[in-house]
Amino acid sequence: MAYDIFLKIDGIDGESMDDKHKNEIEVLSWRWNIHQESTMHAGSGLGSGKVSVTNLDFDHYI
């Protein structure tokens, strides 16, 4: 499945020449970290904690 991803950050010009995304950052790949504490101890429910989302990383042309 092909897709295009662009990132717009105020005050930062990107390299995109796309008509609809001029001067935005063209994202080549991206990844993020998601972590959720959990326990299987006795009791009601699974003891799931809140999800923690950290580090959104992306690759782009320079």
Mean of the pLDDT values across residues 56-61? Answer: 93
pLDDT tens-digit readout, 2-56:
789 999 999 999 999 999 999 999 999 999 999 887 766 655 555 567 889 899 9
Which residues contact residue 14 at a Cβ distance below 8 angstroms, ignoring those fewer than 6 apart?
Answer: 6, 7, 8, 23, 24, 25, 26, 60
pLDDT given for residue 50 in this prediction: 81
DSSP assignment of 5-59 equals EEE-BTTB------TTSTTSEEEEEEEEEEEE-----SSSS-----EEEEEEEEE
